[in-house]
Chains A and B, each alone.
Chain A
Amino acid sequence: MKERVAKDHIIRRVIAKILIPFIQLYALYVIAHGELGPGGGFQGGVILGSSIILYVIVFGIEEGRKRISQKVSDTLTSTGVLLYAGIGVLCLLAGGAYLEYSMLPLPTHKLASGLGIYGIEIGVGITVAAVMITLFFETARREDD
Protein backbone atom coordinates (compact mmCIF):
# COMPACT_ATOMS: atom_id res chain seq x y z
CA MET A 1 0.00 0.00 0.00
CA LYS A 2 1.55 3.27 -1.05
CA GLU A 3 -0.21 5.32 1.55
CA ARG A 4 1.38 8.66 0.84
CA VAL A 5 0.44 8.47 -2.81
CA ALA A 6 -3.06 7.35 -1.95
CA LYS A 7 -3.59 10.28 0.42
CA ASP A 8 -2.88 12.73 -2.36
CA HIS A 9 -5.57 11.40 -4.67
CA ILE A 10 -8.50 13.70 -4.04
CA ILE A 11 -10.81 11.87 -6.46
CA ARG A 12 -10.36 8.57 -4.63
CA ARG A 13 -10.86 10.21 -1.25
CA VAL A 14 -14.01 12.07 -2.25
CA ILE A 15 -15.57 9.07 -4.04
CA ALA A 16 -14.78 6.78 -1.10
CA LYS A 17 -16.26 9.22 1.39
CA ILE A 18 -19.45 9.42 -0.66
CA LEU A 19 -19.69 5.65 -1.22
CA ILE A 20 -18.81 4.25 2.21
CA PRO A 21 -21.92 5.42 4.11
CA PHE A 22 -24.17 3.94 1.43
CA ILE A 23 -22.28 0.63 1.43
CA GLN A 24 -22.59 0.46 5.21
CA LEU A 25 -26.29 1.31 5.11
CA TYR A 26 -26.77 -1.44 2.54
CA ALA A 27 -24.83 -3.89 4.73
CA LEU A 28 -27.12 -3.15 7.69
CA TYR A 29 -30.13 -3.54 5.40
CA VAL A 30 -28.87 -6.95 4.23
CA ILE A 31 -28.33 -8.13 7.82
CA ALA A 32 -31.72 -6.89 8.95
CA HIS A 33 -33.53 -8.07 5.84
CA GLY A 34 -32.24 -11.66 5.83
CA GLU A 35 -35.55 -12.95 7.16
CA LEU A 36 -37.51 -11.63 4.19
CA GLY A 37 -35.21 -11.80 1.20
CA PRO A 38 -31.83 -13.08 0.12
CA GLY A 39 -28.93 -12.19 2.35
CA GLY A 40 -28.38 -12.38 6.06
CA GLY A 41 -25.70 -11.99 8.69
CA PHE A 42 -22.89 -13.52 6.67
CA GLN A 43 -23.35 -11.51 3.48
CA GLY A 44 -24.14 -8.32 5.38
CA GLY A 45 -21.08 -8.77 7.56
CA VAL A 46 -18.88 -9.24 4.51
CA ILE A 47 -20.26 -6.06 2.93
CA LEU A 48 -19.78 -4.12 6.19
CA GLY A 49 -16.21 -5.39 6.42
CA SER A 50 -15.44 -4.47 2.82
CA SER A 51 -16.70 -0.90 3.33
CA ILE A 52 -14.08 -0.46 6.05
CA ILE A 53 -11.44 -2.17 3.90
CA LEU A 54 -12.27 0.35 1.16
CA TYR A 55 -11.58 3.11 3.69
CA VAL A 56 -8.25 1.52 4.60
CA ILE A 57 -7.24 1.10 0.94
CA VAL A 58 -7.94 4.76 0.20
CA PHE A 59 -6.75 6.42 3.42
CA GLY A 60 -4.06 4.00 4.57
CA ILE A 61 -3.68 1.56 7.44
CA GLU A 62 -2.69 4.10 10.11
CA GLU A 63 -5.73 6.27 9.37
CA GLY A 64 -7.93 3.14 9.32
CA ARG A 65 -6.65 2.02 12.72
CA LYS A 66 -7.61 5.43 14.11
CA ARG A 67 -11.22 4.71 13.11
CA ILE A 68 -11.30 1.04 14.16
CA SER A 69 -8.63 0.40 16.74
CA GLN A 70 -7.05 -3.01 17.21
CA LYS A 71 -8.81 -3.37 20.54
CA VAL A 72 -12.23 -2.66 19.06
CA SER A 73 -11.91 -5.06 16.12
CA ASP A 74 -10.50 -7.82 18.35
CA THR A 75 -13.33 -7.40 20.83
CA LEU A 76 -15.97 -7.39 18.09
CA THR A 77 -14.51 -10.62 16.65
CA SER A 78 -15.50 -12.54 19.76
CA THR A 79 -18.61 -10.47 20.55
CA GLY A 80 -20.51 -11.94 17.59
CA VAL A 81 -19.81 -15.57 18.49
CA LEU A 82 -20.64 -14.84 22.14
CA LEU A 83 -23.94 -13.24 21.10
CA TYR A 84 -24.82 -16.32 19.02
CA ALA A 85 -23.83 -18.80 21.73
CA GLY A 86 -25.40 -16.57 24.39
CA ILE A 87 -28.80 -16.69 22.69
CA GLY A 88 -28.44 -20.49 22.73
CA VAL A 89 -27.77 -20.40 26.47
CA LEU A 90 -30.75 -18.07 27.00
CA CYS A 91 -32.92 -20.70 25.31
CA LEU A 92 -31.52 -23.28 27.73
CA LEU A 93 -32.30 -21.02 30.70
CA ALA A 94 -35.84 -20.52 29.38
CA GLY A 95 -36.38 -24.27 29.54
CA GLY A 96 -35.87 -25.23 25.90
CA ALA A 97 -33.12 -27.03 24.05
CA TYR A 98 -29.95 -25.19 23.00
CA LEU A 99 -30.86 -22.68 20.24
CA GLU A 100 -34.59 -23.52 20.53
CA TYR A 101 -35.60 -19.90 19.95
CA SER A 102 -39.35 -20.42 20.31
CA MET A 103 -38.88 -21.09 24.05
CA LEU A 104 -37.58 -17.56 24.69
CA PRO A 105 -39.90 -15.75 27.11
CA LEU A 106 -41.84 -13.60 24.62
CA PRO A 107 -45.61 -13.32 23.96
CA THR A 108 -45.78 -15.72 21.01
CA HIS A 109 -43.56 -18.58 19.87
CA LYS A 110 -43.37 -17.12 16.40
CA LEU A 111 -42.16 -13.74 17.66
CA ALA A 112 -39.63 -15.42 19.96
CA SER A 113 -38.31 -17.55 17.12
CA GLY A 114 -38.13 -14.60 14.73
CA LEU A 115 -36.30 -12.43 17.26
CA GLY A 116 -33.91 -15.25 18.15
CA ILE A 117 -33.01 -15.69 14.50
CA TYR A 118 -32.63 -11.93 14.18
CA GLY A 119 -30.22 -11.94 17.12
CA ILE A 120 -28.00 -14.69 15.79
CA GLU A 121 -27.90 -13.05 12.34
CA ILE A 122 -26.57 -9.89 14.01
CA GLY A 123 -24.03 -12.02 15.87
CA VAL A 124 -22.85 -13.66 12.64
CA GLY A 125 -22.65 -10.23 10.98
CA ILE A 126 -20.51 -8.71 13.76
CA THR A 127 -18.03 -11.59 13.79
CA VAL A 128 -17.75 -11.84 10.00
CA ALA A 129 -17.24 -8.08 9.59
CA ALA A 130 -14.64 -7.92 12.38
CA VAL A 131 -12.72 -10.95 11.09
CA MET A 132 -12.63 -9.58 7.53
CA ILE A 133 -11.29 -6.25 8.80
CA THR A 134 -8.70 -8.05 10.93
CA LEU A 135 -7.61 -10.28 8.02
CA PHE A 136 -7.05 -7.22 5.84
CA PHE A 137 -5.25 -5.19 8.51
CA GLU A 138 -2.92 -8.06 9.38
CA THR A 139 -2.24 -9.21 5.82
CA ALA A 140 -1.66 -5.90 4.03
CA ARG A 141 1.87 -4.56 4.07
CA ARG A 142 2.70 -1.42 5.97
CA GLU A 143 5.04 1.32 4.91
CA ASP A 144 7.63 0.49 7.55
CA ASP A 145 8.01 -3.16 6.42
Chain B
Amino acid sequence: MIDFLLLLFLVVCAIAAIRMKDLLSAIMILGVYSLIMAVVWTRLNAVDVAFTEASVGAGITTMLLIAALSRTKRGEEGNRQSSISRRSLAALLVVLVTGAVLIYGTIDMPNFGDPNAPANLHVAPRYIEKSHDETGVENFVTAVLASYRGYDTLGETTVIFTAGICVILLLRRKSEQ
Protein backbone atom coordinates (compact mmCIF):
# COMPACT_ATOMS: atom_id res chain seq x y z
CA MET B 1 0.00 0.00 0.00
CA ILE B 2 2.68 2.46 1.04
CA ASP B 3 4.74 1.46 -2.01
CA PHE B 4 1.80 2.17 -4.26
CA LEU B 5 1.32 5.60 -2.66
CA LEU B 6 5.02 6.41 -3.04
CA LEU B 7 5.02 5.44 -6.71
CA LEU B 8 1.87 7.50 -7.22
CA PHE B 9 3.61 10.51 -5.64
CA LEU B 10 6.60 9.94 -7.92
CA VAL B 11 4.41 10.07 -11.02
CA VAL B 12 2.60 13.16 -9.74
CA CYS B 13 5.93 14.90 -9.01
CA ALA B 14 7.33 13.99 -12.44
CA ILE B 15 4.28 15.37 -14.24
CA ALA B 16 4.21 18.48 -12.05
CA ALA B 17 7.91 19.16 -12.72
CA ILE B 18 7.32 18.96 -16.47
CA ARG B 19 4.16 21.10 -16.44
CA MET B 20 5.56 23.81 -14.15
CA LYS B 21 6.34 27.09 -15.92
CA ASP B 22 8.29 28.58 -13.04
CA LEU B 23 11.70 26.89 -13.24
CA LEU B 24 12.51 27.40 -9.55
CA SER B 25 9.34 25.49 -8.62
CA ALA B 26 10.24 22.76 -11.11
CA ILE B 27 13.67 22.38 -9.48
CA MET B 28 12.12 22.14 -6.02
CA ILE B 29 9.65 19.52 -7.22
CA LEU B 30 12.55 17.53 -8.66
CA GLY B 31 14.11 17.66 -5.19
CA VAL B 32 10.90 16.26 -3.72
CA TYR B 33 10.94 13.58 -6.42
CA SER B 34 14.44 12.52 -5.35
CA LEU B 35 13.47 12.48 -1.70
CA ILE B 36 10.52 10.18 -2.41
CA MET B 37 12.81 8.04 -4.52
CA ALA B 38 15.16 7.81 -1.52
CA VAL B 39 12.25 6.46 0.55
CA VAL B 40 11.54 3.92 -2.19
CA TRP B 41 15.17 2.76 -2.09
CA THR B 42 14.91 2.41 1.69
CA ARG B 43 11.77 0.31 1.23
CA LEU B 44 13.82 -1.91 -1.09
CA ASN B 45 16.50 -2.26 1.66
CA ALA B 46 19.07 -0.41 -0.46
CA VAL B 47 20.07 2.09 2.23
CA ASP B 48 23.37 3.09 0.64
CA VAL B 49 21.63 3.97 -2.60
CA ALA B 50 18.91 5.77 -0.64
CA PHE B 51 21.57 7.80 1.15
CA THR B 52 23.18 8.78 -2.13
CA GLU B 53 19.82 9.65 -3.68
CA ALA B 54 18.89 11.84 -0.70
CA SER B 55 22.21 13.69 -0.51
CA VAL B 56 22.97 13.99 -4.22
CA GLY B 57 19.54 13.97 -5.86
CA ALA B 58 17.56 15.91 -3.31
CA GLY B 59 20.39 17.97 -1.85
CA ILE B 60 23.29 19.00 -4.01
CA THR B 61 21.61 18.70 -7.44
CA THR B 62 18.85 21.04 -6.31
CA MET B 63 21.41 23.59 -5.11
CA LEU B 64 23.52 23.36 -8.28
CA LEU B 65 20.43 23.75 -10.47
CA ILE B 66 19.38 26.80 -8.47
CA ALA B 67 22.90 28.19 -8.94
CA ALA B 68 22.61 27.59 -12.69
CA LEU B 69 19.16 29.19 -12.64
CA SER B 70 20.64 32.35 -11.10
CA ARG B 71 22.40 32.91 -14.44
CA THR B 72 19.28 32.47 -16.56
CA LYS B 73 15.67 33.57 -16.51
CA ARG B 74 13.30 32.19 -13.97
CA GLY B 75 10.43 31.44 -16.36
CA GLU B 76 10.23 29.52 -19.59
CA GLU B 77 10.55 31.41 -22.86
CA GLY B 78 7.69 31.68 -25.32
CA ASN B 79 4.28 30.10 -25.33
CA ARG B 80 3.98 26.41 -24.82
CA GLN B 81 2.36 24.65 -27.76
CA SER B 82 -1.14 23.83 -26.68
CA SER B 83 -2.36 22.23 -29.92
CA ILE B 84 -1.46 18.62 -30.57
CA SER B 85 0.97 18.57 -33.45
CA ARG B 86 1.99 15.57 -35.52
CA ARG B 87 5.40 15.59 -33.86
CA SER B 88 3.98 15.30 -30.37
CA LEU B 89 1.84 12.36 -31.52
CA ALA B 90 4.95 10.64 -32.88
CA ALA B 91 6.73 11.29 -29.56
CA LEU B 92 3.79 9.81 -27.67
CA LEU B 93 3.91 6.72 -29.88
CA VAL B 94 7.65 6.25 -29.25
CA VAL B 95 7.15 6.63 -25.49
CA LEU B 96 4.26 4.13 -25.45
CA VAL B 97 6.17 1.53 -27.47
CA THR B 98 9.31 1.91 -25.33
CA GLY B 99 7.23 1.64 -22.16
CA ALA B 100 5.49 -1.50 -23.46
CA VAL B 101 8.84 -3.10 -24.31
CA LEU B 102 10.23 -2.27 -20.86
CA ILE B 103 7.17 -3.72 -19.12
CA TYR B 104 7.40 -6.81 -21.34
CA GLY B 105 11.05 -7.12 -20.24
CA THR B 106 10.13 -7.16 -16.54
CA ILE B 107 7.82 -10.17 -16.94
CA ASP B 108 10.77 -12.58 -16.97
CA MET B 109 12.53 -10.93 -14.04
CA PRO B 110 12.78 -12.90 -10.77
CA ASN B 111 10.71 -11.72 -7.83
CA PHE B 112 12.17 -9.09 -5.50
CA GLY B 113 14.47 -10.72 -2.95
CA ASP B 114 14.32 -14.16 -4.60
CA PRO B 115 17.34 -16.06 -3.18
CA ASN B 116 17.58 -18.14 -6.37
CA ALA B 117 17.76 -15.12 -8.68
CA PRO B 118 20.89 -15.21 -10.87
CA ALA B 119 22.16 -11.97 -9.32
CA ASN B 120 22.10 -13.59 -5.88
CA LEU B 121 23.93 -16.76 -6.93
CA HIS B 122 27.05 -15.42 -8.62
CA VAL B 123 29.34 -13.21 -6.49
CA ALA B 124 26.86 -12.19 -3.78
CA PRO B 125 27.44 -15.30 -1.56
CA ARG B 126 31.20 -14.66 -1.67
CA TYR B 127 30.71 -11.03 -0.54
CA ILE B 128 28.37 -12.06 2.26
CA GLU B 129 30.51 -14.91 3.54
CA LYS B 130 34.04 -13.62 3.10
CA SER B 131 34.08 -9.83 2.65
CA HIS B 132 34.54 -9.17 6.37
CA ASP B 133 37.58 -11.45 6.58
CA GLU B 134 39.05 -10.36 3.28
CA THR B 135 38.63 -6.60 3.56
CA GLY B 136 38.25 -5.91 7.28
CA VAL B 137 35.14 -3.74 6.90
CA GLU B 138 31.68 -4.74 8.00
CA ASN B 139 29.49 -3.04 5.42
CA PHE B 140 29.31 -5.19 2.27
CA VAL B 141 28.58 -2.21 0.09
CA THR B 142 31.70 -0.37 1.28
CA ALA B 143 33.74 -3.57 0.88
CA VAL B 144 32.57 -3.97 -2.73
CA LEU B 145 32.97 -0.30 -3.63
CA ALA B 146 36.32 0.31 -1.99
CA SER B 147 38.05 -3.06 -2.25
CA TYR B 148 36.61 -5.52 -4.77
CA ARG B 149 35.71 -2.71 -7.14
CA GLY B 150 38.41 -0.28 -6.02
CA TYR B 151 39.41 0.57 -9.60
CA ASP B 152 35.85 1.57 -10.45
CA THR B 153 35.64 3.89 -7.46
CA LEU B 154 39.00 5.44 -8.38
CA GLY B 155 37.59 6.00 -11.87
CA GLU B 156 34.44 7.60 -10.47
CA THR B 157 36.46 9.93 -8.26
CA THR B 158 38.54 10.89 -11.30
CA VAL B 159 35.33 11.62 -13.24
CA ILE B 160 34.18 14.00 -10.49
CA PHE B 161 37.64 15.59 -10.42
CA THR B 162 37.51 16.04 -14.21
CA ALA B 163 34.06 17.62 -13.95
CA GLY B 164 35.41 20.12 -11.43
CA ILE B 165 38.41 20.95 -13.62
CA CYS B 166 36.16 21.42 -16.67
CA VAL B 167 33.89 23.82 -14.80
CA ILE B 168 36.92 25.79 -13.62
CA LEU B 169 38.30 25.97 -17.18
CA LEU B 170 35.00 26.91 -18.81
CA LEU B 171 33.29 29.18 -16.30
CA ARG B 172 35.98 30.83 -14.19
CA ARG B 173 36.42 34.46 -15.03
CA LYS B 174 39.87 35.59 -16.09
CA SER B 175 39.91 38.70 -13.91
CA GLU B 176 39.95 36.60 -10.76
CA GLN B 177 43.15 34.76 -11.54
Contacts and interface: CB of A to CB of B under 8 A. Distances in A.
B55 A124 contact: no
Interface string A42-71: 110011011001000100000000000010
A103 interface: no
Main secondary structure of the interface of A (DSSP, over half): helix
Contact of A111 (B67, B136, B145): B136
Query: What interface size band does chain B fall in?
Result: 35 or more
Interface string A118-145: 0011011001101110111011110001
Contacts of B133: 110
Query: What interface size band does chain A fall in?
Result: 35 or more
Interface of A: 1, 30, 34-40, 42-43, 46-47, 49-50, 53, 57, 70, 74, 77-78, 80-81, 84-85, 88, 98-99, 101-102, 109-114, 117, 120-121, 123-124, 127-128, 130-132, 134-136, 138-141, 145
Given A53-B60, A110-B136, A120-B154, 12 more contacts: A77-B161, A80-B157, A99-B154, A102-B134, A109-B136, A117-B143, A117-B147, A127-B157, A131-B160, A135-B167, A136-B64, A141-B71
